[in-house]
Amino acid sequence: MRAAKAVIPAAGLATRFLPATKAVPKELLPVVDRPVLQYIVEEAASAGINDILLVTGRGKTSMIDHFDRRPDLEARLEEKGDLDRLEAVRRPGELAEIFACRQGEPLGLGHAVSVGQSHVGDEPFVVMLGDEFMDEDSPLLPAMLDLQAATGGIVLAFIEVPTELVSRYGIASVAPATDVPADLAAEHEIVRVTGLVEKPPVDQAPSNLAVVGRYVLPATIFDAIRRTGPGSGGEIQLTDAMATLLAEGTPVHGVVFRGVRYDTGTPAGYLEAVVELACKRPDVGPTFRRWLVDFVDKDLRG
């Protein structure tokens, strides 16, 4: 059975973006004219995931408002005949069914996922971290969903990171995957995971394959999270709960992602996402690119 629901943990305080995130959730920071969270929900919807649970926290209710209707605004735009903007305002509400629950205390990613248990039920589900998304031209989720439906286990996505950055990520040790459907293996770089460790010191990392923010998990993860004590940073880590399931025999595979990923979790990564996506946009892109080339030439080189 293919996973049909996604959980998006989005209760964090986003201290890296203060003071911008004092009153605005970081998930609503705009990339061109859409908030980061909308790109993530669009990524889910494109992969056939139309049931999304936002795990939120205090002061972050505006995230849910973004996916609600705005009849007053819609009526205004309709009167003015501004049909493009009317479409843009309606679109978030048409992508998926959005549900919300609260993570009362910031006890870690594993804990955030666990509060979704009663919404998710017994079926496999997707976890999408709220500050990264994949370019629509290089989708990742469909292959992960197909692979999970075939194995019934855990499916992760990896990127290769420079050795000095391994301590920022969950890191995997891997072996060749010999037990996955041939059609998937032919089209994607799939590995079998033999070990997982959260944010290891550089000299103890088993590889440079870093877990990125897309997971397809069986519902047995909830029980494993309950059995997981505080780990890296004193938090209940999803990586540790997945390592427990791995040790107990759950198959764990990873898809090595070579496409374009935007990481808006840091100010520098956020700015890169804004510039890259602005350049790609058919409406503002051509003018923005010309300005950017000019700016780099004159202001930075000269």
- Residue closer to ligand G1P, measured from CB, 262 or 278: 262
Please identify, among the stretches 16-24, 68-76, 236-244, 267-275, the one whose residues bind ligand G1P according to the rule CB under 6 A: 236-244
Please identify, among the stretches 25-33, 53-61, 157-165, 233-241, the one whose residues bind ligand G1P according to the rule CB under 6 A: 233-241
Instruction: Give residue number: closest CB to ligand G1P.
Output: 170
**260 close to 138: Cβ distance less than 8 angstroms:** yes
- Residue closer to ligand G1P, measured from CB, 31 or 109: 109
Q: What angle do CA 44, 47, 49 make, to 5 degrees?
A: 55
- Residue closer to ligand G1P, measured from CB, 48 or 233: 233
Residue 169 binding ligand G1P, by CB under 6 A: yes
- Residue closer to ligand G1P, measured from CB, 193 or 278: 193
Candidate residues 151, 220, 239, 250; the one interacting with ligand G1P per rule CB under 6 A: 239
Query: Is the CA virtual torsion 36, 53, 161, 190 positive or negative?
Result: negative
H-helix or E-strand spanning residue 171: strand 170-176
Quote the least distance from Cβ 6 to ligand G1P, whole Å.
16
Residue 243 binding ligand G1P, by CB under 6 A: no
Candidate residues 213, 218, 231, 251; the one interacting with ligand G1P per rule CB under 6 A: 213
Residues 71-130 that bind ligand G1P (CB under 6 A): 109, 129
> From the CB of residue 222, how many other CB atoms can be counted at a distance below 10 Å?
21
DSSP code for 17: G
Burial of 85 (0-12, 13-18, 19+ CB in 10 A): middle
Residues with Cβ < 8 Å from 257, sequence gap 6 or more?
134, 138, 140, 157, 158, 159, 212
Which pair of structure tokens corresponds to residue 52?
A: 């999304």
Please identify, among the stretches 86-94, 134-142, 152-160, 204-212, the one whose residues bind ligand G1P according to the rule CB under 6 A: 204-212
Residue 264 binding ligand G1P, by CB under 6 A: no
Q: What angle do CA 45, 51, 56 make, to 5 degrees?
A: 105
Q: What angle do CA 217, 178, 206 make, to 5 degrees?
A: 65
Of 122, 136, 129, 130, the residue nearest 47 (C-alpha): 136
Query: Is the CA virtual torsion 136, 27, 283, 291 positive or negative?
Result: negative
Residue 27 binding ligand G1P, by CB under 6 A: no
- Residue closer to ligand G1P, measured from CB, 52 or 209: 209
- Residue closer to ligand G1P, measured from CB, 151 or 237: 237
Please identify, among the stretches 42-50, 137-145, 205-213, 279-287, the one whose residues bind ligand G1P according to the rule CB under 6 A: 205-213
3-state secondary structure of 83: helix
Chain residues binding ligand G1P by CB under 6 A are 109, 129, 132, 169-170, 198, 210-213, 237-239
